[in-house]
A and B are shown apart, each in its own frame.
Chain A
Amino acid sequence: MITGGIDIGSLSTKALILENRETILGWSIMLTGPAPVESASAVLDAALKETNLCMADIKYLVATGYGRVNVPFAQASVTEISCHARGNNWLFPSVRTILDMGGQDCKAIRCDEKGNVLAFAMNDKCAAGTGRYLERVASVLNLDLEQIGPLSLQGADKHVQITNTCVVFAEEDIIRSIREGHNSIDILAGAMDAIVDRVVALLERVGVEEDLCVSGGVAKNAGVVGRLQQRFALKPSIAPEPQVIGALGAALVAADMGELNAE
């Protein structure tokens, strides 16, 4: 049975096609843009293109992410919290704690052996601990987003203390540090420390249990992941493409629906 998952996030939209809940046939990632329905349709087409399948071949399709209710061709919508737990559990069955760091939100999830959510905590109304924060940090330091992870690990022990995780105030802190003559790498390292402090607190709210995995776009940032590894003294599992885990979870929920209806 072919199932699909679409994850409409605040910054990017992801689609994934799954066969018999065993094989990932294809996926695609695009910027969400101002029209989530069109983005959903385009991203699904792009994912299907890889597979030689067409829309009619997808038996069940589930939408997730903040734009989940806007997908007219999905049979159901499920929150990204449940989907990330399912997706990560499928990839890493031993994982019990999940940190998903997306474009504009960040969630800590604890799950059981089946990938069912036991507890979760999310950032509220604030972009601290998210991809948006990293984007602003990179921009104000005139660096590429891809650069900032590895660079932040090169900082000496004299990290500049960035006390604010609020995107707006952190930016002010960074500008002040530049004026004070600190070098960019030390400032960057301080900004990374601040974001990791924030997500560690979020993880502590749900309780960290081995194993830990990190998903979402920020999982691609070596600076954040390296610091998490240091804090918890364990190596987080990360999917080869951590941005599509929500869509993978949605495709797994779609498979559940297909099996339930077949019974």
Chain B
Amino acid sequence: MKISDTSATMEDRFKALKESNRPENRTKWALEWKKQGKQVMGLLCSYVPEELVSAAGMLPWRITGTWKEAAPLAGVYRPEMTCRYCSHALESVLNGELSFLDAAAGTQLDDDFKRLLDVLIAIRKPAFTYMMYLPHASNRITMAMWVKSVLDLQQTLEKLTGVKITEKELRRQVGIYNRMRTLLSKVYELRKRDNPPITGAEALGLTTAARIMPREIFNDELEELLPYLEHREIPLKRSRPRLLMCGEYLDHPGYVDLVEKAGAVVVMDDFDTGSRYFWDLVEESSDNIIEAIARRYLNKPGSSRMVNWNEQAAQIVKWVKEYDCDGIVELRQLFSLPLDYRFFALIKKFTAAGIPYISVDREYHLANEGMLRTRVEAFIEMILAKAK
């Protein structure tokens, strides 16, 4: 199955690809996959090694919560002031948007995710839900525990699907995923240009598309589009300020678009739904492919729930330099405590590095745009005044 017909222009094909995770397109690839008699596993966390899910013949499909404003059904199971992504993900399960899922998997990313997985397990929607163990740090001891967790996932998947995950198939999948990561890295490399050929919102469209499509189809399409993107030009009102955006569970490109419409050029991100999804490769030449997969997932740029906040800040500062950014905008999801605590650590580091930084609360679904725009515009005005 092709993404769009072959007579479509490259711009049309790019549009189709980057809009794959919009609500009206989101389930297309999963339903197509199921038509072939294969299963789909919904994923709630970027730490679940997708290569294993694919090697078991399932389509790993990142769960986007409902983008609708209210989550009334989830309110039966979850207090209002808890992780909004978790509530909206639960809502999409309860309202039937995700009834096609055969299984779901996540990690105990934080208490919010644990309780979400508990609910899914209790109500048996989807029919099977699996919670992986994920350490809070990466060191010799925790790595051994994580490898064990990855092996447990392998056994669970084999039992669930009846498919034996062979080393040969796993290595083939690692090749596919590494190709996807390399292609997305090439797209991000283009964002270093003075006049980037894609917007930040488009980049988020691509990374969220990658997580719901059969990866080989995504790879083929992106590979064909790359030469076009290299020469694509988008009109910019001004080339500065260039910003890096931070956040977790941000999958609505409307939020990035909002920052860009406020007058900034968003050239890099620290999203689990963006750069952190594809950053770093699995070492394909490793003798022990399971350990190589485990290493890649635990060692990739950390998330707010991991203890290595200094490393995370250092990674972001490095990106700010590499991508020639003038500041950092964090759109911090409401009621997500790890992000709230990390803020105090980040602000110290960014202030010390002389990088302007703003962190503003946001909902999971696109809301309060006027309020957010005022704060982001003021931040941009502040950067521009400083540059004068």
Contacts and interface: CB of A to CB of B under 8 A. Distances in A.
Interface of A: 66, 78-82, 116-120, 122, 124-125
5 contacts: A80-B374, A116-B385, A117-B378, A117-B381, A124-B371
A120 B380 CA distance: 12
B385 A82 contact: yes
A122 B370 CA distance: 14
A116 B360 contact: no
B385 A66 contact: no
Contacts of A124: 360-361, 371
A79 B371 contact: no
B382 A117 contact: yes
A79 B370 contact: no
B7 interface: no
Given A79-B377, A79-B378, A117-B378, A125 B371 contact: yes
Contacts of A118: 382
Interface string B365-377: 0001011001101
B368 A125 contact: yes
A82 B378 contact: yes
A64 to B, nearest CB: 10
A122 B382 contact: no
A124 B385 CA distance: 24
Contacts of A79: 374, 377-378, 381
B270 to A, nearest CB: 21
Contacts of B371: 124-125
B382 A116 contact: yes
Nearest to A205: B347
A66 B381 contact: no
Interface residues of B, number: 13
A78 B385 CA distance: 12
Nearest to B351: A119
A248 to B, nearest CB: 17
A125 B361 contact: yes
Nearest to B380: A79
Contacts of B368: 125
Contacts of A78: 381
Contacts of A125: 361, 368, 371
Contacts of A117: 378, 381-382, 385
Contacts of B374: 66, 79-81, 122
B386 interface: yes
A122 B375 contact: yes
A127 to B, nearest CB: 12
B386 A116 contact: yes
B361 A120 contact: no
Nearest to A117: B382
Given A66-B370, A125-B361, A125-B368, A120 B385 contact: no
B28 to A, nearest CB: 35
Interface in B337-386: 360-361, 368, 370-371, 374-375, 377-378, 381-382, 385-386
A118 B381 CA distance: 10
Interface in B10-37: none
A81 B361 contact: no
A236 to B, nearest CB: 22
A124 B374 CA distance: 12
A162 B377 CA distance: 35
A86 to B, nearest CB: 10
Nearest to B375: A122
Contacts of B378: 79, 81-82, 117, 120
A55 to B, nearest CB: 26
Contacts of A122: 374-375
Contacts of B382: 82, 116-120
Please provide the 9 A-B residue pairs with the shortest distance between their CB atoms, ordered closest to farther.
A81-B378, A116-B385, A79-B378, A117-B382, A82-B381, A79-B377, A124-B361, A79-B374, A79-B381
Interface string B219-257: 000000000000000000000000000000000000000
Contacts of A82: 378, 381-382, 385
Contact of A81 (B370, B381, B386): B381
A107 to B, nearest CB: 9
Given A81-B378, A116-B386, A125-B361, 7 more contacts: A79-B377, A79-B381, A116-B382, A117-B378, A120-B382, A124-B371, A125-B371
Nearest to B379: A120
Nearest to A107: B378
Contacts of B361: 124-125
B366 to A, nearest CB: 15
A82 B386 CA distance: 12
A82 B361 CA distance: 20
A125 B335 CA distance: 13
A125 B81 CA distance: 14
Contacts of B386: 116
Contacts of B370: 66
A78 B368 CA distance: 19
Contacts of A66: 370, 374
Nearest to B382: A117
A117 B386 CA distance: 9
A120 B357 CA distance: 11
A119 to B, nearest CB: 8
A168 to B, nearest CB: 14
A66 B382 CA distance: 18
A244 B361 CA distance: 29
